[in-house]
């Protein structure tokens, strides 16, 4: 589509750390590989420190900078606000942006509490009525293998879902000398492994099965309760400073739940799984077949077709790089794998497609709220000794 035929979409991004870098790469790359129906522009990036945000803008490719996100709402050249800040700021920014008529892409978790997430969802619904759109950034949904998994479930290829087994395992906190950072501070991050990575596991389980968790039993644990104070905050872990402070979030969460269709789902989220770097594992066992995925081998989906002759049946290792796989035709020939950041590019593609088509994007804030409610139920269950807790 020629430029003349395409409306402009000016994007303003708030925050430019890990998530900001991933989102920037997506905004830069999406129009190069996909025929976007809108002419996206990386109009402004926001950070509190003028010098640092200017550096970031130059490095990441943003045209201008602001030191207060509220400025974005006043600018006519901003059509969409992309929120890449810690969870405690999401509600305020997102609600204000939506009320100012700006579309919003908000990183997950949607908020640090159900109450905030409810306010955001209400704001999103009001905005939706005015054609102002919102999306929460569960980017792992955009891994081609995950999209394929959802398609196969929807096509009935695994039959009735009996079991979901979802784990998100990392090990970056295993060393007690790793200092505190905002991710270990409940007031900033809302929760620990549960909200940061368990949220993804919950969203993927619900997304791929097309079902909701109706209740859970769970337990949370903080293995290392005191850590050195960080001198500065860089990367996931920061650098060591002086003295120690208290970890106010969970290091690990273990829970199981019941799906709306009657199946059993088990979950684990941990930052203490030695040797597991970013192992998002999802296994689904149904009455007709099974699926298995591990993000450490992200271009592969394993599929067992239980209707086949047992003599030749087996989990197929589908290398999800064929032109008929989701998103793949825009990229490289078969066998040329994609990486982590491609999910963010696909997120931009889907969002822009929806904006141009006047469709409500998914996952919506309501979807983010649904995940938040599951996380909240897990926390409440944990407080109650793991008792059954409805979502």
Q: Residue 154 in 3-state DSSP? A: helix
Among 297, 354, 360, 380, the residue binding a copy of itself under the rule CB under 8 A is 297
CB of 353 closer than 8 Å to CB of 104: no
Among 17, 96, 100, 174, the residue binding a copy of itself under the rule CB under 8 A is 174
Contacts of 71 (CB under 8 A, 6+ apart): 44, 46
Among 8, 48, 52, 59, the residue binding a copy of itself under the rule CB under 8 A is 59
**Residue 321 binds to a copy of itself (criterion: CB under 8 A):** yes
Full DSSP string of 175-225: STTSPP-GGG-HHHHSSSHIIIIIHHHHHHHHHHHT--EEEEEEEEE-S--
**Residue 191 binds to a copy of itself (criterion: CB under 8 A):** no
Within 10 angstroms of residue 67's Cβ, the number of other Cβ atoms is 14
Among 319, 356, 360, 362, the residue binding a copy of itself under the rule CB under 8 A is 319
Binding to a copy of itself by CB under 8 A, coded x per residue (else -) over 220-259, reads -x-x-----------xx---------------x-xxx-x-
**Residue 24 binds to a copy of itself (criterion: CB under 8 A):** yes
| Span interacting with a copy of itself, options 113-121, 161-169, 200-208, 365-373, rule CB under 8 A | 161-169
Q: In whole angstroms, what is the distance from residue 235 CA to residue 178 CA? A: 12
Q: In whole angstroms, what is the distance from residue 90 CA to residue 98 CA? A: 12
CB of 267 closer than 8 Å to CB of 203: no
Work out how close the CB of 102 gets to a copy of itself at its nearest, in angstroms, rounded to a whole number. Answer: 25
Among 268, 367, 376, 379, the residue binding a copy of itself under the rule CB under 8 A is 268
Among 136, 201, 298, 355, the residue binding a copy of itself under the rule CB under 8 A is 298
Binding residues among 137-156 for a copy of itself as defined by CB under 8 A: 148, 152
Binding residues among 364-383 for a copy of itself as defined by CB under 8 A: none
Both structure tokens of 310: 């047992």
**Residue 4 binds to a copy of itself (criterion: CB under 8 A):** no
**Residue 347 binds to a copy of itself (criterion: CB under 8 A):** no
- What is the DSSP pairing of strand 134-137 with strand 103-107? parallel
């Amino acid at each position: 589509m020629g430029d003349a035929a395409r409306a402009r979409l000016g994007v303003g991004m708030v925050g430019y750390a890990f998530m900001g870098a991933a989102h920037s790469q997506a905004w830069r790359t999406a129009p190069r590989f996909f025929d976007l129906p809108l002419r996206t522009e990386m109009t402004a990036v926001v950070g509190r420190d003028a010098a640092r945000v200017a550096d970031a803008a130059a490095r990441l490719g943003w045209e201008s900078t602001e030191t207060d996100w509220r400025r974005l709402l006043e600018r006519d050249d901003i059509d969409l606000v992309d929120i890449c800040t810690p969870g405690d700021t999401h509600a305020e920014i997102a609600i204000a942006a939506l009320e100012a008529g700006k579309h919003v892409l908000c990183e997950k978790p949607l908020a640090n509490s159900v109450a905030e997430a409810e306010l955001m969802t209400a704001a999103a619904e009001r905005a939706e009525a005015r054609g102002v759109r919102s999306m929460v950034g569960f980017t792992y949904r955009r891994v081609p293998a995950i999209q394929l998994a959802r398609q196969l479930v929807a096509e009935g290829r695994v039959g009735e879902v009996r079991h979901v087994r979802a784990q998100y395992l990392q090990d970056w906190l295993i060393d007690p000398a790793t200092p505190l950072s905002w991710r270990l501070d409940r007031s900033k991050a809302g929760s620990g492994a549960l909200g940061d990575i368990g949220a993804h596991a919950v969203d993927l389980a619900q997304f791929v099965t097309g079902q909701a968790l109706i209740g859970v039993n769970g337990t949370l644990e903080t293995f290392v309760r005191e850590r050195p104070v960080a001198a500065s905050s860089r990367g996931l872990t920061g650098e060591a400073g002086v003295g120690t402070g208290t970890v106010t979030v969970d290091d690990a969460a273990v829970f199981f739940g019941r799906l709306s269709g009657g199946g059993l789902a088990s979950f684990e989220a941990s930052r203490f799984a030695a040797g597991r770097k970013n192992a998002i594992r999802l296994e689904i066992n149904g009455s007709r077949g099974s699926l298995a995925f591990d993000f450490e081998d992200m271009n592969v989906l394993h599929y067992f077709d239980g209707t086949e002759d047992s003599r030749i049946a087996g989990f197929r290792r589908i290398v999800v790089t064929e032109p008929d796989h989701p998103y793949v035709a825009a990229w490289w020939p078969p066998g040329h794998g994609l990486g982590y950041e491609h999910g963010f590019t696909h997120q931009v593609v889907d969002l822009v497609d929806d904006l141009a088509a006047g469709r409500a994007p998914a996952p919506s804030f309501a979807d983010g709220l649904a995940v938040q409610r599951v996380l909240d139920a897990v926390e409440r269950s944990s407080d109650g000794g793991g008792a059954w807790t409805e979502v």
